[in-house]
Structure 1
Amino acid sequence: MKHVAAIMGLCSAVVCTPVHAENARDILVNAAFGARDKGAALARIGQALASADAALKRDPRDENARLQRALAISYRGKLTRSRADVIAARREFEALVVADPRNPETHLALAGWHLAAVIELGPFMARTVLGARLAAGNAALNRAIALGGTHAAVPALASLQRIQIDPSDVAGARRLAETAVVASANNPFDRLMQRQAATLLVQLRKGDGMAAASLAKLLMPFGRISA
């Protein structure tokens, strides 16, 4: 199903996490930004899923491992066009938000689920095919920014998605990217996303929203791999 390819769970690692769950996160980041083809990406996603499953076997209450597992399923769903996977991932993101409403990572993941579908399919088809909604995505993204906006990954990802949602809002995306490049970047993922924001910012400062939106798509997780 081509529509399922729209969904992309966001890699997010804003707060300090247990070592075993962090390993799953690092594997996912490597898959999202380092894999050169779909096969390699899926293999790495499988490894991350196994790592998260092992962490949950050790501690079923490990919410970060649950998040990494949901992200892995979301990524797998995007690349294999599995509607079952992407719907399962959304339900887990929603459950995690309920379990810990003050965790910016879970809000960021849920925002990415909704907004990626809207970007790829448009609001009507995203809602009809997958139940994704622009308003829900924006609300979750705003909550993530409010809770974790001092960490570079949050405003960086917000900038990348906002310019794709509305290429005319160059000023808004630019503000977010500028926030990201001066924000705290104390872990590898924050530093990676800070670099992505800096790359996007060059285009945003030229004032060309359509060109910036095209670049933002490439800078997103799995942006250079066709589903």
Structure 2
Amino acid sequence: MLLIAVPANAAAIDAFRSGDWAAAVREGRAENSAASLVLAGRAQLSIAGYQTSGKDQALDLVAAAERDFDAALARSPSNVEAQLQKAVAIAYRAQLTKGIGLAKEVRRRFETIIAAHPDNSLAWGALGGWHGGAVATVGSFLAGTALGAKKSEMERCYAQALRLTPNLPSTRVFFAITLMDLDEKNAPRAANLLKNIESLPAGDGFEAMVKRQGVELAAALARGDAKTAQATARRLQAFSRIV
């Protein structure tokens, strides 16, 4: 009989690929490898950001995700995905608590990953989102003086992410959402980014979820009402359910 090698974290992979976040958490922890723990943490961040309406519950989920990323890094300190997702989790915590110190730490972590792995498009996109999100939240002046965040850096980072992986749904969707959050006048650029978004391949449940967001935003932009499209973009952001 021919035996086919199965990845040790196959159950967690399958759950994450299908977008079954609860199963991804359960299976990822049960398998207890660096890769499976990263999937468990990512699943919890997805629940926290897009399915949770209470701040305390969201913070608890983010904290649990951080513990999974820490456990993954304890097993594999050089695991770049675990490093990146740990930074994303801290960014979520900074967003929920409005922590300036945490926000600065996030930037340092993203920049450290990029310095060591300049071909990592996800890190470039995450740093672009950090700059754009900061400016959209507190304005150019305060973002620049308090955090060193700049709209020009958002543009540079997202441009590099697109050069590295032009067809990754999340890169295009997050860039479009960030542009609309900054200014409704960015509607033509956002629409161009989302052109043919429905035809892009989604490699896992997270990419599929973000792709659906892109299709929804593209439809709103196509109707020509930039103000409504901006409201749609903001509703699609992580933690938009939390008042």
Do both share a fold (TM > 0.5)? yes
Listed one character per residue, the Cα deviations across residues 154-211 of structure 1 (whole Å, up to 9, x for unaligned) are 1111111112223113221112122432211120011001111111112101112222
Letter in 1 for 2:157: A
Pairwise mapping of residues 72-91 of structure 1 onto structure 2 (< 5 A)?
72-91=89-108
Structure 2 contact 53–239 (Cα < 8 Å) conserved: no
Q: Which amino acid aligns with 2:154?
A: G
Residue 122 of structure 1 aligns with an amino acid whose one-letter code is G
The SS at the match of 1:155 is helix
The yes-or-no answer on 1:116 pairing with 2:133 is: yes
**Pairing 1:46-195 to 2, within 5 Å after superposition:** 46-195=63-212
Q: Aligned residue for 2:9?
A: none
The TM-score normalised by the length of structure 2 is 0.83
Structure 1 spans left out of the alignment, 5+ residues: 1-12
- In the aligned structure 1, how far is the partner of 2:163 from the partner of 2:140? 25
Aligned residue among 233, 237, 241 for 1:216: 233
Deviates more, 1:175-184 or 1:97-106: 175-184
Q: Give TM-score scaled by structure 1 length.
A: 0.88
* Between 50-59 and 204-213, the greater mean CA deviation after superposition: 204-213
Checking the alignment, whether the CA contact within 8 Å between 1:164 and 1:213 is kept in structure 2 is yes
In the alignment, structure 2 segments of 5+ residues that lack a partner are 1-16, 18-33
The structure that has the greater radius of gyration is 2
Shift of residue 217, structure 1, vs aligned partner: 0.9
Aligned-residue sequence identity (percent) comes to 30
- RMSD (Å), alpha carbons: 1.6
Structure possessing the higher relative contact order (Cα contacts under 8 Å, 6 or more residues apart): 1
Give the partner amino acid of 2:195. Answer: E
Which residue pairs with 1:32 in the alignment?
49
Q: Taking structure 1 as reference, are residues 179 and 127 closer, same or farther at Cα in structure 2, changes over 3 Å only?
A: farther
- Answer yes or no: is the 8 Å Cα contact 2:35–2:72 preserved in 1: no
The answer for the alignment partner of 2:27 in structure 1 is none
Q: How many residue pairs end up in the alignment?
A: 211
